[in-house]
Amino acid sequence: MRKVLILCTGNSCRSIIAEALINKYLKNVVAYSAGVKATGSVNSNAIKVLKQEDAWREEYSSKTLDKIMDINFDLVVTVCSNADKNCPTFPKRVEVIHVGFEDPDGKKFEAFEETLQEIKKKLLPIVRKKTS
């Protein structure tokens, strides 16, 4: 199994959505997510959109990077410019790529639906290619 980390600032919307979609749709890949400055909670609209997609798991949570640093990732994907600029160094050499998405936080539910669709269309094929 290839291990992928999705890194964002707050780990409450984009990175959680990406983690869940990768885990639902990509075979032989396990995704994790974390935040550079995690909020500690998952946005309720992110949960709602993932439930609609039948991709929500209760174990998904907003967490800081130190909670998962012991995992040897095969790929790290930053999904916001702040995480891209502040991406930490990992103990094991790992490829880090940036695939940015607009933050839906504070916007209407439709923005979360758009973000989910954009992540499916843009991010999943990249992760599939990088981990195959």
Active site residue 8: yes
Catalytic residue among 30, 87, 111, 124: 87
Rounded distance, CA 95 to CA 52, Å?
32
Strands 95-98, 29-35: parallel, antiparallel or unpaired by DSSP? unpaired
Catalytic residue among 8, 26, 34, 79: 8
Active site residue 13: no
Do the Cβ atoms of 22 and 29 come closer than 8 Å? Answer: yes
DSSP string for residues in 27-69: TTEEEEEEETT--SS--HHHHHHHHHTT---TT----BGGGTT
Catalytic residue among 80, 116, 119, 127: 80
Active site residue 80: yes
Identify the bridge partners of residue 35 per DSSP, sorted by sequence position: 8, 64
Closest CA to 103 of 7, 31, 39, 8: 8
Q: Which residues are known to be catalytic?
A: 8, 80, 87
